[in-house]
Amino acid sequence: MINKDFFAALADLEREKGISEEVFIEALKGALVSAYKKQFEGETGSVRIDFDAEKGSIRFFLEHIVVDSEEAQEGEITLEDALEIKKNAKVGDVLSEEFVPKDFSRIAAQTAKQVILQKIHETERDNTLSEFSDKEGELMSGVVRKVDMKNVYIELGKGQIEGLMLPQDQVPGERYETNDRIKVFVKRVKSGGRNAQVLVSRAAPGFVKRLFEEEVPEIKQGTVVIKSVAREAGHRTKMAIYTEDERIDPVGACVGNKGARVNAVVSELGGEKVDIILWSENPLEFIAKSLSPATVISVTQMSEKSAVAVVPDDKLSLAIGRDGQNARLAARLTGWKIDVKSESAAAKLALTEEPAEIPADETEGQDL
């Protein structure tokens, strides 16, 4: 039923798939015992299976506990019956009898196959979780292997691990074709029962952040820090940056010589607009900068985390943006609720009587 070729195959599995031979054999023992009990219902006693890798054999034993009673329960044998098998048997002994189950070879082979497949699957799942557990939040390259309905399946890394890009993680307007090589952001690694899933994204704000880290050495080294990113994938991104090194121009570092660095990011984003904004510890000043490319006259705090930004009348539509996008992204970037008003409308409401004045030249961000 089992021979040396079988154990040689186990050794190959251990080398190729990382499956421990001991772990596999223990799983196979349990599966064979279960299969035996299903086939031979009514059989009493506990079944023990011994594997001998050197001899390439498998042996079955039926075990009973000797009890001092007239009737034996399942897994037991009366002392009277035990003495017929073993003359010096006594209560509490475990009698073990070897047997050869008839017509069990086919079932054993099927069971072994099922256990092998299950263990391979479990090992691949565990390896995926192990390999990618520290990859969350990282940027990876992959190859599109399948586009099924609205989901995109991407082969990642050298281990050919499959990443899943759900519809909400895809960029509107982007088309994904089989064999396309693309960059993705590892959003989450999770174990879903028998399966491990690596969820990836091209729409996450973290995708833009990691792209800039790749292109800008100052960000990778930590001398320029990305404070926050707000994004509406396929349309516009706002990114706030900061440095404590007065010798460094953080915006210039992100833009690069003749725009080379930022253009590389924008190209990967398919032409998406990117506003690079200087972060400020003064929240009102930061709000003014966040409304780039519009010029802001003043910002007034109305309540906790709520402010009104006043802009020239002819810049109101620019400050708000199409369908409110610019103001909406500014609010996400700063974490404040921002009410944008024109200068004339603010004057009527007397909002400019004691404004927090922000010099116009300090409100300019880098619009790209």
* pLDDT tens digits, 166-218: 999 999 999 999 999 999 999 987 765 555 678 999 999 999 999 999 999 99
Indicate whether 112 and 153 sit together in one domain: no
Q: ω into residue 293 within 30 of 0, thus cis? A: yes
Higher pLDDT, 312 or 4: 312
- Average the pLDDT over 262-283 and give the result: 95
The per-residue pLDDT for 362 is 43
pLDDT higher than 60, residue 365: no
Contact 104, 1 (CB under 8 A): yes
Quick: pLDDT tens for 17-75: 666 777 777 777 777 777 776 666 656 567 777 877 777 677 778 888 888 877 777 77
Indicate whether 294 and 368 sit together in one domain: yes
Residue that finishes a domain, picked among 279, 305, 326: 279
Residue that finishes a domain, picked among 200, 231, 247: 200
For residue 361, the 8-state DSSP code is G
Q: What is the mean pLDDT of the chain?
A: 83
The beta strand positions in 267-343, using DSSP E, are 273-278, 298-303, 306-311, 337-342
Calpha distance 211→269 (Å, rounded)? 9
Token pair for 260 = 């080379």
Contact 147, 175 (CB under 8 A): no
Count of structural domains within the chain = 4
Higher pLDDT, 342 or 118: 342
The CATH number for 114's domain is 3.30.1480.10
pLDDT higher than 70, residue 296: yes
Calpha distance 152→144 (Å, rounded)? 7
Domain that holds residue 168: 140-200
Burial class (CB in 10 A: 0-12, 13-18, 19+), 368: middle
Q: Are strands 57-67 and 94-99 parallel, antiparallel or unpaired?
A: antiparallel
- For the chain, give percent helix, strand, coil, nearest 5: 40, 30, 30
Indicate whether 187 and 250 sit together in one domain: no
Contacting residues for 303 by C-beta, under 8 A, at least 6 apart: none
Indicate whether 189 and 225 sit together in one domain: no
Indicate whether 318 and 346 sit together in one domain: yes
Token pair for 167 = 């519809």
Quick: pLDDT tens for 80-116: 888 888 888 888 888 887 777 666 666 666 776 777 6
Token pair for 165 = 């890009």
Amino acid at 318: L
Q: Are strands 181-192 and 195-201 parallel, antiparallel or unpaired?
A: antiparallel
pLDDT higher than 90, residue 328: yes
Q: Token pair 């409304």 is at which residue?
A: 291
Contact 18, 125 (CB under 8 A): no
> 3-state class of 203 per DSSP?
coil
